Structure 1
Amino acid sequence: MAKNRTGEGAEGLPIKMLHDRLLVSVEGEHGERRSGGGILIPATASVGRRLAWAEVVATGPSARQVEIGDRVLFDPEERAEVELGAKAYILLRERDLHAIAARRVQGEGHTGLYL
């Protein structure tokens, strides 16, 4: 079952995620990146719709499949950003995720747990 984690808000007040909401930390910037062959791809290069990975740092009590520490795949164009303690996070709903990557997700021939 998903755990609930509280954090500290801008004024030092405790924060509790509600319903199926997830607070995630994005891995890297959406700017320049390198291809598998080491070629630098500028942020202005258009490659179509690209999904992004992030790490879950807090979950609401109704999150059923996601746990803190999981890596999740989501569409960065469908997101809400929030700043807590001078660090930017993204607020998502569990139903908006495309995939979960976690050690507990196992099985031969499976690429992950899809929602």
Structure 2
Amino acid sequence: MTADPDLDHGLPIRLLHDRVLVRLEGNEGERRSSAGIVIPATAAVGRRLSWATAVGVGPHVRSIVAGDRVLFDPDDRSEVELHGRGYVLLRERDVHAVAAQRVEPDATGLYL
């Protein structure tokens, strides 16, 4: 199996218990609507969940592996900087969903 170049290998950290270390996708500043309208970072919106990529997991994490895309509430997070790059530290129970690459033919579907 080849290593994923998007994962951050060699981080100086060993995660404990049910902790998940994630790297945020994109920036958290302004964003664009589907119609192309720029929405500034200061615009008030309802609770919006964020996607991130898991780069490390603790020994008691059962449903997430490094490389998974996870959905979490950005208001409930702890930030950490490693090698000059920002990461978010979560508990496994704070992750709302894991993105599926595909759905098996006999699966019943995904439920959030």
What is the TM-score with the length of structure 1 in the denominator? Answer: 0.81
2:98 corresponding residue in structure 1: 100
Q: In structure 1, give the amino acid aligned to 2:21.
A: L
1:25 corresponding residue in structure 2: 23
Unpaired runs of 5+ residues, structure 1, are 10-14
Report the secondary structure of 1:69's partner residue: coil
CA distance in 1, matches of 2:100, 2:87: 20
RMSD, aligned α-carbons: 2.0
Unpaired runs of 5+ residues, structure 2, are 1-7
Deviation digits for residues 53-83 of structure 1, max 9, x if unmatched?
0000000010000011000000000000000
Counterparts of 1:1-115 in structure 2, within 5 Å, are 7-9=10-12, 15-103=13-101, 106-107=103-104, 108=107, 110-111=109-110
Judging changes above 3 Å, is the alpha-carbon distance between structure 1 residues 31 and 6 closer, same or farther for their aligned structure 2 residues? closer
Report the secondary structure of 2:93's partner residue: helix
1:12 corresponding residue in structure 2: none
2:4 corresponding residue in structure 1: none
Judging changes above 3 Å, is the alpha-carbon distance between structure 1 residues 97 and 18 closer, same or farther for their aligned structure 2 residues? same
What is the TM-score with the length of structure 2 in the denominator? Answer: 0.83
CA distance in 2, matches of 1:83, 1:109: 40
Report the secondary structure of 1:8's partner residue: coil
TM-aligned CA deviation for residue 26 of structure 1: 0.1
Q: In structure 2, give the amino acid aligned to 1:111.
A: L
CA distance in 2, matches of 1:6, 1:17: 14
